[in-house]
């Protein structure tokens, strides 16, 4: 009870859980894009399993802190720059994210019947494998943040479980919104390219403040929402004008 009554513990938990949710946004976007290739009845299950995998990986990394810290040791040197295991994971994961998002943008812009009608292009197992692979990269970022903020393992695990629970509830609405708005989907894919680029630069020890990236993403998302709203208003006005024309012709 003394442990639970400690305000510092609750403050650390709230701060870390909030940061984990923010860091999980890119994971939700990636999962939403991937599950969009599945039949509609399989998407909730794939999102749920994908986020559970993310939680298991985060907790697994926390429980193996000694091994994870060993990833920061240089394995070899390239052009005088040390490359560690963590750097390799970030480089490979970032490159994978850029390639995957670029391919998705290409597929979204293709004018063929399969894509025009939202055809399914991936199997359930294939989607889960891709989610698991990128979860490793996102988990590294999440766990490193947790270790840097809090030195209490139960608090870190509780914050991660809470953050994933929130992400599970948010994943459905986010996926539906992304799928229902093609321009938002393209923007989400552009965000994934940006995040992949940030991971690659991080792997090369070029540190870009996450606040800059998330601020740019939030600004772009806000502008796109205004565009969508303006477009819908124009459509409403056009329909009213057409209806008025029909009424005048009828008279």
3-state secondary structure 158-195: HHHHHHHHHHHHHHHHHHHHHHHCHHHHHHHHHHHHHH
For the chain, give the percent of residues with pLDDT over 70.
83
Position 21 scores a pLDDT of: 77
Range ranked top by mean pLDDT from 69-83, 119-133, 144-158, 194-208? 194-208
7 vs 9: CA distance, rounded Å? 5
Q: What are the structure tokens assigned to 42, written together?
A: 């399989």
Q: What is the dihedral of CA 189, 192, 194, 200, to 10 degrees?
A: -140
CB within 8 A of 107, min separation 6: which ones? 115, 121
Closest CA to 188 of 211, 226, 221, 164: 221
Q: Is 239 exposed, middle or buried (0-12, 13-18, 19+ CB in 10 A)?
A: exposed
What pLDDT is attached to residue 116?
Answer: 46
pLDDT tops 50 at residue 233: yes
């Amino acid at each position: 009870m003394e442990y639970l009554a400690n305000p510092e513990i609750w403050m650390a938990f709230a701060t870390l859980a909030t940061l984990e949710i923010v860091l999980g946004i890119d994971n939700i976007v990636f999962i939403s894009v991937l599950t969009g290739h599945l039949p509609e009845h399989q998407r909730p299950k794939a999102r749920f399993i994908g986020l559970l995998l993310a939680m298991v990986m985060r907790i697994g990394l926390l429980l193996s802190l000694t091994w994870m810290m060993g990833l920061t040791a240089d394995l070899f040197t390239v052009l005088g720059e040390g490359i560690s295991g963590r750097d390799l994971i970030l480089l490979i994961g970032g490159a994978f994210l850029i390639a995957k998002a670029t391919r998705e943008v290409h597929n979204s812009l293709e004018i063929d019947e399969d894509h025009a009608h939202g055809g399914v292009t991936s199997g359930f197992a294939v989607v889960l494998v891709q989610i698991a692979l990128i979860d490793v990269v996102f988990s590294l970022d999440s766990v490193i943040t947790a270790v840097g903020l809090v030195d209490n393992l139960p608090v870190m695990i509780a914050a991660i479980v809470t953050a994933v629970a929130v992400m599970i509830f948010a994943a459905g609405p986010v996926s539906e919104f992304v799928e229902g708005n093609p321009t938002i989907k393209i923007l989400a894919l552009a965000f994934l390219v940006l995040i992949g680029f940030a991971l690659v630069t991080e792997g090369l020890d070029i540190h870009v403040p996450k606040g800059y990236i998330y601020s740019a993403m939030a600004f772009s998302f806000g502008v796109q929402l205004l565009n969508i709203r303006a477009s819908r208003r124009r459509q409403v006005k056009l329909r009213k004008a057409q209806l008025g024309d029909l009424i005048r012709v009828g008279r």
